[in-house]
Amino acid sequence: MEGATEKMTLKKKSAFIIILGLLLLASNVVPKNMAVNIQINRQNIAKAVGVNVAVTTTTLADFVGAIIGKEIEPIINPGTCPAHYDSEPGDIALVQDADIVFCHGFEGQWLDDLLTSVNKSSAKYPLGPLVAGAPWGVPANAIKYLEVITAKLNNTYAGLASQFNTNLQTYTNQINAKALELQELAQNYSLLHKKAVVMIHQFGFTSFLGLDVVANWSKSDELMSVQEVAALITEAAEAQAEIVISNLQSGTNVGEEIANDLGIPHAILTNFPQNDPEAANYLSMLEYNLEQIRQAFSATGNSANSALGLFVGLTSIIIIAPYFLHQEKRNKQKKH
């Protein structure tokens, strides 16, 4: 009897352990495995229906990925200006099977050469002309990009149009909500009507936040001459600029020199997500850019331009001239 009782106890213990294991499996392991399988299945379905697109930048990767519901690897890293990118051998794999290659339209000859090498020139789809060159850093303009992207996807993959349209509406709602949030934050941070000197690629976003752009420049660092920088410093000083805003992909030396010369804050914004962990996608990039402006003002105690700004700006040109003369010399050497 004692042996039989011991066997019964072991059976009960075994049953209890099995039941406990199943409960733990149901509460922890199964959901995780299911999540993985769902993700894999979704990717397989997307592949099965033939959704095969490529994009040049991280911005377009975010926009197109949001509509098709799938992550896309961009050709260009976020810290590089698309117009000055040098194509690499590994880029071929990203475009060789693409039905559509979404681009901004200012990428330059490298993209044409890349697509020609794999007989995909007809897949090129520049978005810039279709949105009248609107800066996507402005939320309302980003929605225009998404609408054009969705229309192209609907035309190419008609069977998935309903899904694409639903994703478009969802993302549009998110962008509109983020736009209101950012403008409220800009007001709370006392940024409205702050006078800014802005690199042209951040003009739209700066104005969207409510700052007043009193001067701007349109060339990347290496193309700015000494005379142009001098004129910009004078213009900024006379307008009593309170902050300089640079665009990361265009260079930051010009903005830094102006800010140092006039004794005002300098903020560096980005036009492409993923350059920083806090700017992982388009929506967080908008937050990141606003935060750079807020931090720039905070670091200097929100000080305005002093009465000595014009004098300091003009006299400091003597100091910064060698840098820009060197840049001009390098540019001339490149031409020859």
What is the per-residue DSSP string for 105-116?
A: S-S-HHHHHHHH
Q: Which of 10-24, 46-60, 176-190, 191-205 has the lowest mean pLDDT?
A: 10-24
Average pLDDT over residues 8-26: 42
Fold of 53-182: Rossmann fold (3.40.50)
Which residue ranges does the chain devote to CATH 3.40.50.1980?
53-182, 190-335
Q: Please, is 238 exposed, middle or buried when counting C-beta atoms within 10 Å of its C-beta (0-12, 13-18, 19+)?
A: middle
pLDDT given for residue 212 in this prediction: 98
Kindly report, residue by residue over 145-194, the tens digit of the pLDDT: 999 999 999 999 999 999 999 999 999 999 999 999 999 999 999 999 99
Kindly report, residue by residue over 225-257, the tens digit of the pLDDT: 999 999 999 999 999 999 999 999 999 999 999
pLDDT given for residue 306 in this prediction: 40
Q: Please give the residue that has the higher pLDDT: either 50 or 133.
A: 133
Q: Around Cβ 325, how many Cβ atoms within 10 Å?
A: 12
Fold of 190-335: Rossmann fold (3.40.50)
Cα–Cα distance list, 180 to 171, 183, 284 (Å): 14, 5, 14
Query: Which among 328, 271, 305, 224 has a CA at the least distance from the CA of 216?
Result: 224
